[in-house]
C-alpha cells in the first residue's frame, strides 16, 4: 500500500494520534537539546524552585525515579552548589531548597525551554493558535487525576507562565 492509500485508510483519530506523536517527538528532541544540564537535574531545580522544602522522597515521586537515582541526582546538585539540604521533620530526612545559583539555573532552563518550543507555534496564525491552545488545554487537563500525577506531568513547567490567566489546566499542581 502506498502512502496515499495508507492515509486514506486512517481514521481522523488515527491521523490526530499520528500528528501528535510526530509533534511530541520533535518537541522532545528540541527540549533535550535545550536542557543542557539534563532533564532530571533541570526538573529537580524547576520543581524545587516552585515548591521549595520538599523531601527527597517527595522529589522521587515527582521525578518517577528510584530512590538511589534521586539521591545521586540530589547529591550532584548539592556538590555543584545548586541545592542545599536543611534538616527535615525528623533526623532521617532533609528539606531540599535551590540555592540562588540553583534558582538562576532553573530560570535559564525555563527560558531555553521556551525558546526551543516557540518555533512550534510561530507559523500558526491567530485562529490556528487559538485552536491549538484550546486543544492543548483540554489534553493537558486530562493528563493527571491527582496532585502527585500533576506534579510529575508538570515537572518542567514554567509555573509563572502556566499559572497566569486563565490558569493551569491541572489545578492540583497548586499547593
Integer distance in angstroms from the first to the last C-alpha of the chain?
A: 53
Q: Say how many C-beta atoms besides its own lie within 10 A of residue 104's C-beta.
A: 14
- pTM for the full model? 0.84
Give yes or no for a contact between 77 and 83, defined as CB atoms under 8 angstroms apart: yes
Give the per-residue pLDDT at 9.
60
Question: Can you give the pLDDT at residue 118?
Answer: 94
Distance of CA 76 to the CA centre of its chain: 20
Residues of the chain with pLDDT under 70: 1-10, 172-175
Domain boundaries, the chain: 37-173
C-alpha 77: how far from its chain's center?
Answer: 18
Calpha distance 108→42 (Å, rounded): 10
- The topology under which CATH files domain 37-173 is Arc Repressor Mutant, subunit A (1.10.10)
Amino acid at each position: 500500500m502506498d502512502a496515499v492509500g495508507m492515509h486514506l485508510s486512517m481514521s481522523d483519530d488515527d491521523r490526530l494520534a499520528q500528528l501528535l506523536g510526530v509533534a511530541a517527538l520533535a518537541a522532545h528532541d528540541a527540549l533535550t537539546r535545550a536542557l543542557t544540564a539534563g532533564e532530571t537535574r533541570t526538573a529537580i531545580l524547576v520543581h524545587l524552585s516552585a515548591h521549595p522544602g520538599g523531601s527527597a522522597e517527595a522529589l522521587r515521586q515527582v521525578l518517577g525515579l528510584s530512590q538511589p537515582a534521586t539521591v545521586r541526582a540530589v547529591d550532584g546538585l548539592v556538590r555543584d552548589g545548586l541545592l542545599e539540604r536543611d534538616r527535615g521533620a525528623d533526623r532521617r530526612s532533609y528539606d531540599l531548597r535551590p540555592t540562588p545559583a540553583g534558582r538562576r539555573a532553573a530560570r535559564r532552563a525555563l527560558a531555553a525551554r521556551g525558546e526551543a518550543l516557540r518555533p512550534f507555534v510561530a507559523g500558526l496564525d491567530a485562529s490556528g493558535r487559538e485552536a491549538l491552545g484550546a486543544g492543548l488545554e483540554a489534553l493537558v487537563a486530562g493528563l493527571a487525576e491527582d496532585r502527585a500525577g500533576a506534579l510529575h506531568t508538570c515537572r518542567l513547567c514554567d509555573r509563572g507562565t502556566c499559572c497566569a490567566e486563565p490558569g493551569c489546566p491541572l489545578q492540583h499542581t497548586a499547593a
